[in-house]
Chain A
Amino acid sequence: DAKTTQPTSMDCAEGRAANLPCNHSTISGNEYVYWYRQIHSQGPQYIIHGLKNNETNEMASLIITEDRKSSTLILPHATLRDTAVYYCIVSTSGTYKYIFGTGTRLKVLA
């Protein structure tokens, strides 16, 4: 599975969009990009995933570059409850292996 690189930490003002980048330059054609977050020390929570098209759900949007070497998770109107560690993972279905890096610690400021 491809490796991902994320910034260690980011701050975002409450109510503003939070844009979290992820680099996955070695991604292969059948690997999906998944985003999870972990609030305090709770279990990771699924946010969104995509292959090559941009995706949106009730929590976030995922923008994947055309060459698929990077992606951005967008929280459109960040709230204090979005303060968490965000993990970007690339994985192939059927390998049963997510590789978690250290993620991006997002702090939403009042």
Chain B
Amino acid sequence: NAGVTQTPKFQVLKTGQSMTLQCAQDMNHNSMYWYRQDPGMGLRLIYYSASEGTTDKGEVPNGYNVSRLNKREFSLRLESAAPSQTSVYFCASSEKDGSTDTQYFGPGTRLTVL
């Protein structure tokens, strides 16, 4: 059981380049999330997918797009990277259990935009 996996672990981009961050979970969870974490800050929600086929904006969606490819996979795309998008990106998944939905996080992707 790998839990939540993310690829790549590290990435360096030039301003204007595009890339897709991949996330997969093997826990059969319905909900998936993308967060970013800037130095010294807490995590901020970019987008989430409550269930397969649905996506919604979080707190900081500008400059990003997402695709819920299937129940397992949720990708985050930067169409034209900017230095302000230099951050650590975390993917998470959760499943509703009664009145709670505990989130489980991947190891992160460290992105630098020059």
Contacts and interface: CB of A to CB of B under 8 A. Distances in A.
Interface string A30-71: 101010000001111110010100000000000000000000
Interface in A82-102: 87, 93-94, 96-98, 100-102
B34 to A, nearest CB: 12
Given A41-B108, A46-B102, A93-B96, A100 B56 contact: no
A32 B99 CA distance: 9
A101 B42 CA distance: 5
Which secondary structure dominates where chain B touches chain A?
strand
A34 B107 CA distance: 20
B13 interface: no
Contact of A102 (B33, B42, B104, B110): B42
Which secondary structure dominates where chain A touches chain B?
loop
A59 to B, nearest CB: 13
Measured as residues with beta carbon below 8 angstroms from the partner, the interface class of chain B is: 20 to 34
A42 B107 contact: yes
Interface residues of A, number: 21
Contacts of A43: 4, 90, 92, 105-108
A7 to B, nearest CB: 15
B101 A94 contact: yes
A45 B108 CA distance: 12
Would you list the 7 A-B pairs with minimal beta carbon distance, nearest first? A100-B42, A43-B105, A100-B43, A93-B99, A44-B105, A96-B48, A93-B101
Interface of A: 30, 32, 34, 41-46, 49, 51, 87, 93-94, 96-98, 100-103
